[in-house]
Amino acid sequence: MLGTFLENKRSKLNQQMEQQIYSMQIPEKLRESILYSIEAGGKRIRPVLLLAANEAFGGMEDRALAPACAVEMIHTYSLIHDDLPAMDDDDVRRGKPTNHMQFDEATAILAGDGLLTAAFHVITANDHLTDREKVFLTRELSKASGAEGMVAGQMLDMEAEEKTLSLEELEAIHRHKTGELLRFSAVAGAFIGGANPTQLRQIETYANYIGLLFQVQDDILDVIGEEGEIGKPVGSDVTNHKSTYPQLLGLEGAIEHKQKYAERARAALKEAGVDSSLLEDLIDYISDRKN
């Protein structure tokens, strides 16, 4: 069931994002650069989580598509900027040249800036949402992705290079860098779907564990994954002197941690008391993914 859902939603999202970008009047090279990174694909976990949370509360899909596109645009901009020479200096992403390698640094910076800004336009120019919903989504997304959220995460991550971190420090980085956008996605979908404030808090807890789960599995795959599947050399975290869960807890300890997070995510979901089979399947999907 999750497989069909993922395939169906991913193709709708891709179509919507491309339509958004083609509907804008932008210089040709800038459009190409933006489309290049949007079309590079990826798992679309954030927007899929948003759509699944919306459906869990009985929300209509067409009301959740705009914020789903917005969160993926923000995620895509962050990858473009993080790959820049001054940041993580990556030449390849998902087997293709990174944006600044395919175009140039200036274009990559501007493509990122353009995508980030467009995310807020996609939400506020949408016809299916009320003003109250647009304000909620813009406020929460700007907080989750900005200097208190995802941008802080990238800053902390760069400052941590070559340092050995405690588990608390490691989790603080992940909570900001990947956790905040995942949290936003689940909460935004539930909000549009009609969750009440108590349910929103439970979905938030679920999403926080999803975020941690996501990261532990990332670190585990770097130790035991298949290079062809994860899209980067196995063991690159060690080579890059990155602090990871397996390094801090051992591989066994990391797997135990992952299972603990999965259980807690499941418990939070049960408390929210919704038709949650999609959200439940997402726990296993993220926990067991191979890339």
Identify which of residues 157 and 237 has a Cβ nearer to a copy of itself in the complex.
157
Q: How far is the CB of 191 from a copy of itself (least distance, A)?
A: 14
Binding site for a copy of itself (CB under 8 A): 24-27, 29-31, 34, 81, 84, 86-87, 104-107, 109-110, 112-118, 120-121, 123-125, 131-132, 134-135, 138-139, 142-143, 145-148, 151-152, 154-156, 158-159
Identify which of residues 111 and 262 has a Cβ nearer to a copy of itself in the complex.
111
Q: Which of 118, 129, 132 is nearest to 69 (CA)?
A: 118
CB atoms < 10 A from the CB of 92, how many? 12
Which amino acid belongs to residue 175? R
Identify which of residues 7 and 148 has a Cβ nearer to a copy of itself in the complex.
148
Identify which of residues 63 and 264 has a Cβ nearer to a copy of itself in the complex.
63
Q: How far is the CB of 113 from a copy of itself (least distance, A)?
A: 5
Q: Determine contact, residues 159/179, Cβ cutoff 8 Å.
A: no
CA–CA separation, 64 vs 85, rounded Å? 35
Q: How far is the CB of 115 from a copy of itself (least distance, A)?
A: 8
Identify which of residues 44 and 177 has a Cβ nearer to a copy of itself in the complex.
177
Q: What are phi and psi of 97, to 5 degrees?
A: -55, 140
Dihedral over Cα of 100, 103, 109, 113: its sign: negative
Q: How far is the CB of 225 from a copy of itself (least distance, A)?
A: 28
Q: How far is the CB of 24 from a copy of itself (least distance, A)?
A: 5
Question: CA of 29: how far to CAs of 38, 103, 104, 107, 113, in Å?
Answer: 14, 9, 10, 8, 14
Dihedral over Cα of 106, 108, 113, 118: its sign: positive
Identify which of residues 104 and 263 has a Cβ nearer to a copy of itself in the complex.
104
Identify which of residues 131 and 252 has a Cβ nearer to a copy of itself in the complex.
131
Torsion, Cα of 237, 242, 243, 245 (10° steps): -20
Q: How far is the CB of 80 from a copy of itself (least distance, A)?
A: 11
- Residue 242 DSSP one-character state: -
Identify which of residues 168 and 252 has a Cβ nearer to a copy of itself in the complex.
168
Q: How far is the CB of 177 from a copy of itself (least distance, A)?
A: 12
Q: How far is the CB of 103 from a copy of itself (least distance, A)?
A: 11
Q: Which of 245, 240, 140 is nearest to 189 (CA)?
A: 140
Q: What is the DSSP string of 23-88?
A: TS---HHHHHHHHHHHTT----HHHHHHHHHHHHTT--HHHHHHHHHHHHHHHHHHHHHHTSTTTT
